[in-house]
Amino acid sequence: MKKHIITLTGNLGSGKSTAAKKLAEQLDYPRFYAGQIMRDESIKRGMDFPEFQKEMSKNPDMDTFVDDRIKEILEKGENAVVESRTAFAFDTDSFHVFVAVDPHEGARRILHDMQTNPNRQVEVAETIEEVLASVEQRVTSERLRYEKLHGIVDHFDQSKFDFIVDSTNKNPEQVVHTIIEAYKTWLSLDN
Calpha distance 13→178 (Å, rounded)? 18
Contacts of 23 (CB under 8 A, 6+ apart): 6, 8, 29, 31, 81, 176, 179, 180
> Domains of the chain, with CATH numbers?
5-155 (3.40.50.300)
10-residue mean pLDDT profile of the chain (191 residues): values are 93 94 96 82 84 78 78 87 93 95 95 79 77 90 86 92 98 98 93 60
Question: In this predicted structure, what is the pLDDT of residue 162?
Answer: 97
Structure confidence at residue 73 (pLDDT): 85
**Phi and psi for 125 in degrees, rounded to 5?**
-170, 150
Question: How many residues appear in the chain?
Answer: 191
Contact partners, residue 50, CB within 8 Å, separation at least 6: 123, 124, 134, 137, 138
* pLDDT computed for residue 191 by the predictor: 60
What confidence score (pLDDT) does residue 120 get? 64
Contact of 13 with 106, CB cutoff 8 Å:
yes
Q: Please tell me the predicted confidence (pLDDT) of residue 123.
A: 64
